[in-house]
Amino acid sequence: MTKDSIIVTGSWIGQETLSLVLQGPLTGQTAGVAWKQAGVFMRRKRPQLLIIDASKLASFDEAGVSILADLCRQQRAGDREWKVEGLPPDCQRLLSQYDPHEKPTPPAIRPKFLLPEEIGRVTVHLWEDMKEQIVFMGKLTAALGLVILHPSRLRTKDMLSVMETAGANALPIIALIGFLLGLILAFQAAIPMRTFGAEIFVANLVSLSLLRELGPLITAIILTARTGSAFAAELGTMKVNEEIDALTTMGLDPVRFLVVTRVLGAVMVTPLLTIFANLFGLIGAGVVMLSLGFPLVTYVQQVLMSVHLGDLMGGLFKAFAFGIMVSAVGCQRGLQTQNGASAVGASTTRSVVSGIVWIVIADGLFSVLFYSLGI
């Protein structure tokens, strides 16, 4: 036995009495070993009388003494006797804090999972959330209207700061993703096109896909991940720190003061970012076309022939709409934050999930709309 380990020796006295001798330190570190060793002697049968000899304990702490308390409580629960002998006075004082008559707390009963109940709960939650989003959009529209009527009430400095963080600072990632997207798309398209000797039409495919669909979509998704989540975290932290309450008690509407600046800032930069995503996507595709042996002028000519201004403008309109949705939903999730640091994390997650869901829904609607209008 080392000086840091405990040994529990047990001996049965007759059929009904078990004597356990504890030797060494009884602390939080050794208590688990002591518990296991004591259990070995009681595995076959519980004694009617348990005698614990603690006279050879080298040291003890509260966690270690809890083992003794638990052994006594188990004896008590089975209407059996126990006796602790040779306990140092300080150890006795610690042990007396535990009530041997106390019954163990029953484990919390988890409500039974019922599928119809769960479906109902989720449906009600979604319905309530939908109503809140509609109310929020109404408040945002009113606040935007107020700012349009009284432009001096717009906090221009805050809006410019948002434009810088959501727009200028997002340019490198937009450029990188746009470039890679164009590159990958062109490579993937070139393989089947080569079968038909129609590699030149890769330019048509990539340019149309980027300008009409992928440019706005990828920009909106990056905006959700980067800016929508940042809005949710920022406003959520302000909520937790009572800064939103402070605004309200000053008589300042948080939607006008915080949300309008963020939404306007983000909306203004989204189409610009989309233009850059398109441009870098086309550059990426251009690199592939050059590697396939087409001169640059041929590729540019092919792109100019295949896309029209309407394609670009349609995409930018979509980007504008995505910008409103992503920034508004990010701000709304932030303002909905409950108490605590984990609530800020939850709001951030919800803002990204909601943002992506809204983008997908809106994109589907735009596709139907553009098809119907022949755009």
Partner 1 sequence: MDQKPQPIVQVENLVIGYGDEVILKDISFHIDEGEIFVILGGSGCGKTTLMKHMIGLHRPLSGKILLEGEDLVTADDKKRQLLLNRMGVMYQGGALFGSMTLLENVRLPLEEFTTLPLSAMNLVARQKLKQVGLEPYAHLLPSELSGGMKKRAAIARAMALDPRIIFLDEPSAGLDPITSAELDRLILSLARPFHITFVMVSHELPSIFAIADRVIMLDKQTKTIIAEGSPLELKTHSQNPWVHRFFHREIAASNPS
Residues engaged in binding partner 1 (CB under 8 A): 237-238, 241-243, 245-246, 248-252
- The smaller minimum CB distance to partner 1, of residues 16 and 242, is found at 242
- The smaller minimum CB distance to partner 1, of residues 237 and 306, is found at 237
Instruction: Count the neighbouring beta carbons within 10 Å of the beta carbon of residue 366.
Output: 20
- The smaller minimum CB distance to partner 1, of residues 251 and 374, is found at 251
Between CA 87 and CA 92 the distance in angstroms is 6
If DSSP codes are grouped into helix, strand and coil, which group holds residue 81?
Answer: strand
Query: Is the distance from CB of 228 to CB of 116 less than 8 angstroms?
Result: no
- The smaller minimum CB distance to partner 1, of residues 50 and 162, is found at 162
Residue 329: CB minimum distance to partner 1, A:
22
Between CA 371 and CA 128 the distance in angstroms is 33
Residue 62: CB minimum distance to partner 1, A:
15
Cα separation values, 31 from 23, 37, 61, 102, Å: 12, 10, 10, 21
Residue 326: CB minimum distance to partner 1, A:
21
- The smaller minimum CB distance to partner 1, of residues 172 and 251, is found at 251
Q: Residue 203 is encoded by which pair of tokens?
A: 């330019």
Residue 258: CB minimum distance to partner 1, A:
10
Residue 99: CB minimum distance to partner 1, A:
10
Sheet hosting strand 7-13, strand order edge to edge: 7-13, 17-26, 49-60, 81-85
- The smaller minimum CB distance to partner 1, of residues 61 and 253, is found at 253
- The smaller minimum CB distance to partner 1, of residues 105 and 249, is found at 249
Sign, CA dihedral 123-125-127-129, equals negative
H helices present in the chain, as ranges: 31-41, 62-77, 89-96, 115-149, 156-166, 171-195, 202-209, 215-223, 229-240, 243-250, 254, 260-291, 296-306, 309-335, 341-373
Query: Is the distance from CB of 50 to CB of 15 less than 8 angstroms?
Result: no
Residue 255: CB minimum distance to partner 1, A:
14
Residue 257: CB minimum distance to partner 1, A:
8
- The smaller minimum CB distance to partner 1, of residues 59 and 248, is found at 248
Residue 250: CB minimum distance to partner 1, A:
6
Query: Is the distance from CB of 328 to CB of 235 less than 8 angstroms?
Result: no
